[in-house]
């Protein structure tokens, strides 16, 4: 264990020297949409936020002012966006079928909007499967392909519009 | 039992009793043999005297009232503790989750102006468990006076640190009731035959207890190294978190540890952090003993005496932090790596800690970039970010800012500068906008030339002034031409995902349920 720490420190020192040289050469501009560094639980459902893979994006981000909070699925983000914790304008970046091209869902002045053609799958099932049962798509063809790939969980799935998805995700009022 | 009677019982709080088959399976005296009482216990452990401890003289006493909301919250904690204990020993445990909870909650929402003596509220408890009360009182007074010192605006940081050390020596040398400053094995202490009984059966009141202990642990980083204005403004956020969320959480796996919520204080005063954690664990053990149905009343008295002895300094004489003559047992004084003020957590190895909501981590590394944090005499240079009920030490101001941006709600950033006595304390609103917590952070200037996080402590720094920034840059040709960023400019930035970050993996599942790692070494 100690040797692991020592190795890491030595590695850090070497990297440190390299990095200082690099810093002199180039000052890096901040990029607008970094992925969250630390991997956390979803603030809404408390399950782990599923990380992006090489093939597919999974992390949903809610941008509120300068905050960028990660959620496990688009249902969680839309649900939490409709709680009193998030009054006002916000943006949700929901992974689509295209790697690196999230669907940008916005709420401005209380009105929700998303690019034309956006559709959602929204099927109530165990939230363990929310990466399959709640997703955004840029087209009907992409939706159909996703449903075809998951015939058991999405047997009767119908494409939902943004308005329908927002309604589905509306947190239930206590009776 | 007919259905109606069942429902009436459930509505009246009986559900908790019915829902605990493992606890109610044995009648008093018929359960497993309780752990034996150690032989040759010191005589004072059986004393029936009414002993009082009193404040050590100091101009700082009651300075906590300068941060009045904190003082009032702490006053209410004393009432809450005592009310629950009194009901537990007067045959009212069945209504703990209903009437007692409501009564305590009323006090928490309307705290008394002065701290009451717990013995006047819990007089039956005090008479029956007089020695325990003395152990609690003396440790609570150490809590109280440490807070007073840290809140006293007329003392320098060095004076405060010296006085805290002195108070600790008074505590441990004046009375035999001192709790050990060693990092005790929390897995062992919370692995007694009666452990978890209170948490499982009375989740709401247990939530209150763990909420109090969250506050009594979190308050140290609110105060330590901060001036009065910063303390007051930071407590606006922390007090709100306490009153809205932490008090009412019933989903915690384990009691809050000082190193989790006040890591700067715990790193500087590991003995105190360990005393407070051991004290809070003693509270948990006593709670569990008192509600264990298979213990007779005489056995409960004995087990409380044993629990006291398990955490006494005298019981661990001759041992040092890091010793482990009984690995996994009572005499296991290893601590979480990078945090000498935190005993081994249940089912965890020293090199990996599981924090609820944040996952596995090493406390000696930045949770944002995974690079090692400064240690020893340099430990003060670590920055810290507080949000959503936790406080994390991080390696650079960028790590602090970006971590706060990735966390819901308000946040506090403690950024160290070239001057150990002048950190920049920044407050983030729930949209991530930063403001200084006092005038002294208004002149702060930042260096941020983003590169590999292997050197983020170099290229991301905060300075007390433009002159301090210029002096740093002048001495380092690699930063020639670097821009001095104002708070407004720096606050608009967002860094990239750190290239050095790696996700620390632990055993699958929840390590606090006793089914996971078993204290095995945990790899990356």
Q: Read off the pLDDT of each residue in B377-386 and give the average, rounded to a whole number.
A: 95
ipTM given for this complex: 0.80
Please report residues of B whose CB lies closer than 8 A to that of A48. Answer: 359
**Chain A residues whose beta carbon lies within 8 Å of the beta carbon of residue B355:** none
Q: Are B455 and A85 within 8 A, CB to CB?
A: no
How does pLDDT run across B438-496, given as a tens digit for each residue?
Answer: 998 889 999 999 999 999 999 999 999 999 999 999 999 999 999 999 999 999 999 99
Say whether A23 and B479 touch across the interface (CB within 8 A): yes
B-chain residues near A27 (CB < 8 A): 449-450, 482
Contact A85 B433 (CB under 8 A): no
Give the one of A11, A12, A37 whose C-beta lies nearest to B501's C-beta: A37
Residue from the list A24, A37, A69 with its beta carbon closest to the beta carbon of B498: A37
- A133 lies in some domain: yes
Which of B368, B455, B492 faces A16 most closely, judged by CB atoms? B455
pLDDT band at B184 (very low <50, low <70, confident <90, very high): very high
The answer to whether the Cβ–Cβ distance between B358 and A12 falls below 8 Å is no
Nearest to A49, CA basis, from A33, A31, A69: A69
Predicted pLDDT of residue A37:
55
Average pLDDT, chain A: 83
Q: What's the domain range around A121?
A: 60-168
Task: Using CA coordinates, name the residue in chain B closest to A11.
Answer: B454
Q: What pLDDT does residue B5 have?
A: 41
What string of DSSP letters covers B160-212?
A: HHHHHHHHHHHHHHH-TTPBP-S---HHHHTTSTTTTHHHHH-HHHHHHHHHH
Higher pLDDT, B92 or B359: B92
Q: Is residue A19 in a domain? A: no
Q: Which residues of A touch B503 (CB under 8 A)?
A: 39
| Contact of A162 with A118, CB cutoff 8 Å | yes
- Distance CA(A162)–CA(A40), nearest Å, equals 27
Partner residues linked to B461 by β-bridges: B447
Grade residue B25 by pLDDT with cuts at 50, 70 and 90: low
Whether A86 is covered by a domain: the verdict is yes
| Chain B: residue whose CA lies nearest to A4 | B523
* Alpha-carbon span A92 to A120, nearest angstrom: 14
Q: Where are the beta strands (DSSP E) in A30-118?
A: 60-64, 67-71, 90-94, 103-108, 111-113
CA atoms of B372 and B456, how far apart (whole Å): 11
Q: Are A28 and B449 inside 8 Å of each other by CB?
A: yes
Nearest CB partner across the interface for B405, out of A9, A40, A68: A68
Question: What element of type H or E holds A14?
Answer: helix A2-25
Alpha-carbon distance A43 to nearest alpha carbon in chain B (angstroms): 8
What sign has the CA pseudo-torsion B186, B188, B190, B191?
A: positive
| pLDDT score of B522 | 29
In chain B, what are the domains? 36-316 (no CATH), 378-491 (3.30.450.410)
**B397 three-state secondary structure:** helix
pLDDT at position B69 over 60: yes
Give B292-345 pLDDT, tens digit per residue.
999 999 999 999 999 999 999 999 999 999 999 999 999 999 999 889 999 998
Pick from A67, A71, A81 the residue to mutate for testing the B interface (most B CBs within 10 Å): A67
A41 has a pLDDT exceeding 60: yes
pLDDT at B354 over 50: yes
Is the residue at A97 inside a domain?
Answer: yes
Q: Which tens digit of pLDDT belongs to each residue from B266-307?
A: 999 999 999 999 999 999 999 999 999 999 999 999 999 999
Smallest Cβ–Cβ distance between A23 and the set B351, B407, B478 belongs to: B478
Q: To the nearest whole angstrom, how far is the Cα of A107 from the nearest Cα of chain B?
A: 15
Which residues on chain B are in Cβ contact (under 8 Å) with A67?
405-408, 430-432
pLDDT in tens, B138-167: 999 999 999 999 999 999 999 999 999 999
Q: At what angle do helices B270-290 and B297-311 cross, to 10 degrees?
A: 170
Query: What distance in Å separates the CA atoms of residue A19 and residue B171, rounded to the nearest whole number?
Result: 48
Query: Once rounded to an integer, what is the mean pLDDT over residues B388-394?
Result: 95
Judged by CB atoms closer than 8 Å, whether chains meet at B408 and A67 is answered as yes
In a domain, A51, yes or no: no
The pLDDT score that the predictor gives to residue B32 is 80
By CB atoms closer than 10 A (0-12, 13-18, 19+), residue A58 is: middle
Q: How far apart are CA A148 and CA B166, in angstroms?
A: 71
Three-state DSSP state, A119: strand
| pLDDT at position B2 | 39
Name every chain B residue with its beta carbon within 8 A of the beta carbon of A34: 402, 494-497
| Per-residue pLDDT band at B513 (split at 50, 70, 90) | low
Residue B430 with chain A: CB contacts under 8 Å: 64-65, 67, 85
pLDDT score, position A38: 62
In a domain, A116, yes or no: yes
CB contact under 8 A, B406 and A69: yes
- Greatest C-alpha distance within chain B: 84
Which residue in A19, A66, A85 is closest to B405 by CB distance?
A66
Distance CA A117, CA A99 (A): 17
List CB contacts (< 8 A) between B403 and chain A: 37-38
CA-nearest residue of chain A to B489? A30
CB atoms within 10 A of CB B296: 14
Confidence of residue B185 (pLDDT cuts 50, 70, 90): very high
pLDDT (0 to 100) of residue B20: 39
Q: Do A20 and B455 touch (CB under 8 A)?
A: yes
Is B252 in a helix, a strand, or coil? coil
Q: Domain containing A163 — which CATH number?
A: 3.30.450.410
Average pLDDT, chain B: 90
Could you tell me the pLDDT band of residue A169, with boundaries at 50, 70 and 90?
A: very high
Q: Is residue A3 part of a domain?
A: no
- Which residue in B has a C-alpha nearest to residue A63's C-alpha? B431
pLDDT tens digits for B93-112? 999 999 999 999 999 999 99
What residue in A sits closest to B407 (Cα-Cα)? A69
Residue B403 is nearest to which of A20, A38, A66, comparing CB atoms?
A38
pLDDT computed for residue B519 by the predictor: 34
Instruction: Say if the Cβ atoms of B431 and A67 lie within 8 Å.
Output: yes
pLDDT more than 70, % of chain B: 92
How many domains are there within chain A? 1
**Which of A37, A39, A41 to substitute to test the interface with B, most B CBs within 10 Å?**
A37
What is the least distance, in Å, from the CA of A161 to any CA of chain B?
28
Preferred mutation among A66, A88, A92 to probe B, highest tally of B CBs within 10 A: A66
Does A66 fall in a domain? yes
pLDDT digits (tens, 9 = 90+) for A130-140: 999 999 999 99
What band does B1 get if pLDDT is binned at 50, 70 and 90? very low
Residue B447: strand pairing partners: B461
Which among A70-84, B5-19, B37-51 has the top mean pLDDT? A70-84
Q: Is the pLDDT of residue B79 over 60?
A: yes
Q: Quick check: B406 and A70 CB within 8 A? A: yes
Per-residue confidence at B427, pLDDT binned at 50, 70, 90? very high
What is the reported pLDDT for B21?
A: 40
Query: What is the model's pLDDT at position B31?
Result: 76
């Amino acid at each position: 264990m100690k040797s692991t720490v020592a190795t890491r420190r030595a590695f850090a020192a070497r990297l440190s020297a390299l990095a200082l040289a690099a810093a002199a050469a180039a000052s890096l501009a901040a990029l607008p949409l970094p992925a969250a560094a630390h991997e956390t639980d979803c603030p809404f459902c408390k399950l782990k936020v599923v990380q992006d893979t090489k093939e597919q994006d999974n992390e949903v981000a809610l941008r509120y002012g300068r905050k960028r909070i990660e959620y496990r699925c688009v249902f969680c983000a839309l649900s939490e966006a409709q709680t009193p914790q998030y009054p006002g304008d916000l943006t949700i970046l929901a992974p689509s079928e295209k790697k690196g091209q999230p669907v940008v869902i916005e709420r401005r002045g209380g009105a929700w909007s998303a690019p034309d053609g956006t559709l959602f799958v929204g099927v109530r099932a165990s939230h363990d499967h929310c990466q399959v049962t709640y997703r955004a798509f840029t087209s009907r063809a992409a939706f159909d392909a996703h449903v075809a790939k998951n015939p058991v969980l999405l047997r009767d799935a119908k494409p939902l519009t943004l308005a329908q998805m927002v309604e589905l995700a509306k947190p239930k009022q206590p009776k | 039992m007919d259905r109606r009677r069942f429902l009436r019982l459930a509505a009246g709080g009986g559900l908790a009793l019915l829902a605990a088959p493992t606890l109610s399976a044995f009648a008093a005296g018929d359960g497993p043999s309780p752990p034996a009482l150690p032989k040759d216990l010191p005589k004072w452990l059986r004393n029936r005297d009414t002993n009082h401890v009193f404040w050590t003289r100091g101009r700082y006493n009651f300075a906590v009232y300068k941060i009045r909301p904190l003082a009032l919250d702490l006053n209410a904690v004393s009432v809450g503790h005592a009310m629950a204990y009194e009901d537990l020993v007067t045959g009212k445990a069945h209504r703990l989750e209903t009437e007692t909870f409501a009564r305590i909650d009323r006090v928490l929402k309307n705290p008394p102006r002065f701290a009451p003596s717990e013995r006047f509220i819990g007089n039956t408890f005090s008479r029956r468990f007089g020695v325990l009360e003395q152990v609690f009182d003396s440790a609570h007074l150490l809590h109280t006076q440490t807070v007073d010192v840290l809140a006293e605006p007329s003392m320098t940081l060095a004076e405060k640190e010296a006085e805290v050390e002195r108070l600790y020596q008074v505590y441990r040398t004046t009375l035999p009731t001192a709790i050990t400053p060693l990092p005790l094995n929390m897995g062992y202490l919370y692995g007694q035959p009666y452990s978890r009984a209170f948490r499982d059966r009375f989740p709401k009141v247990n939530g209150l207890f763990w909420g109090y202990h969250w506050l009594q642990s979190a308050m140290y980083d609110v105060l330590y190294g901060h001036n009065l204005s910063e303390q007051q403004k930071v407590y606006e956020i922390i007090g709100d978190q306490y009153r809205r969320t932490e008090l009412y959480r019933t989903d915690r796996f384990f009691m809050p540890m000082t190193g989790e919520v006040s890591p700067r204080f715990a790193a500087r005063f590991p003995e105190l952090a360990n005393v407070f954690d051991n004290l809070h664990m003693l509270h948990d053990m006593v709670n569990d003993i008192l509600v264990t149905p298979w213990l007779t009343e005489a056995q409960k008295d004995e087990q409380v005496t044993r629990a006291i002895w398990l955490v006494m300094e005298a019981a661990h004489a001759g041992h040092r932090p890091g010793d482990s003559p009984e690995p996994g047992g009572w005499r296991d004084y290893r601590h979480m790596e990078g945090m000498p003020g935190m005993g081994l957590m249940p089912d965890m190895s020293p090199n990996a800690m599981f924090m609820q909501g944040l996952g596995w981590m090493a406390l000696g590394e930045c949770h944002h970039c995974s690079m090692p944090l400064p240690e020893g005499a340099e430990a003060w240079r670590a920055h810290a970010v507080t949000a959503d009920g936790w406080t994390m030490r991080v390696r650079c101001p960028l790590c602090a800012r970006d971590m706060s941006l990735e966390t819901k709600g308000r946040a506090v950033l403690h950024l160290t500068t070239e001057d150990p006595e002048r950190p920049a304390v920044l407050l983030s609103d729930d949209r991530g906008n930063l403001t200084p917590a006092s005038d002294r952070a208004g002149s702060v200037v930042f260096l941020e030339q983003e590169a590999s996080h292997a050197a983020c402590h170099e290229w991301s720094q905060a300075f007390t002034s433009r002159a301090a920034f210029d002096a740093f840059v002048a001495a380092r040709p690699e930063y020639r031409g670097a821009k001095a960023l104002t708070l407004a400019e720096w606050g608009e930035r967002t860094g990239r995902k750190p290239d050095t970050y790696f996700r620390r993996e632990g055993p699958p599942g929840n390590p606090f349920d006793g089914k996971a790692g078993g204290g095995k070494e945990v790899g990356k």
